[in-house]
Amino acid sequence: MKKKIAVFASGFGSNLQAIIDYIGRGSLNGEIALVFSNNKGAYALERAKKHKIQTVCMNTKDFASRKEFDLKIAEILKSEKIDLIVLAGYMLLLSPELVAIFENKIMNIHPALLPSFKGTHSIKDAYKYGVKVTGVTVHFVDKDLDRGPIILQEPVYIDNDDSMESLEEKIHRVEHEIYPKAVEYFCDDRLKIVGRKVKLISD
């Protein structure tokens, strides 16, 4: 039975598109049942509508607290029988309540090799620091920012003539390659969390 996926996005949604395309090639034992956004202007919502995927958009300003906001999201996800939440450029931190409800069922992608360069300016921080290698990390989400167990990592080498823009392009290409693969492993029940480590179960 196919896993049901909810993708959370606040902006352009290029990682959402990468997963949609991956599913379209018949490479995934899962389906995107819902795209959620906190931003009614997010292009990710247009991508979802184009592919006839259900969308939900809610604003935190319409709720008394972030806890109430996230509990409403949880209610919607439960009603849709969602198996996996995929964060794809979702610009809000999840409340501890939502993380607890979907423990080990929330993935995030980070444009650096965690635990280095945490936070929202990772590409810029790595570029300005002068590292020769940065990369991309896919990890499960826990209660702490950019700390959950790591599923996949892929290095990205910074050349002498790289600009911030060219590095961003490199990072995004790698994101679009490995995020669908991590989702595929989850949908095939091939990920086993042991302490802080995520083990990939062989075919």
CB half-sphere exposure, 144, CA atoms < 13 A: 6
* Closest to 136 measured CA to CA, from 168, 157, 110, 102: 110
Tokens representing 132 are 């020769």
Residue 110 falls in the annotated catalytic set = yes
Sequence-distant (≥ 6) Cβ neighbours of residue 186 within 8 angstroms = 3, 30, 84, 107
Each as own residue / partner, the long-range contacts of residues 70-79 (CB below 8 Å, 24 or more positions apart, any chain) are 70/94, 70/95, 70/97, 70/98, 71/95, 71/97, 71/98, 73/36, 73/98, 74/98, 74/101, 74/102, 76/34, 76/36, 77/6, 77/34, 77/102
User: Per DSSP, what are the bridge partners of residue 153?
Assistant: 137
- Cα–Cα dist 23/5, whole Å: 11
- Cα–Cα dist 108/118, whole Å: 13
- Catalytic hit among 51, 110, 121, 172: 110
Active site residues: 110
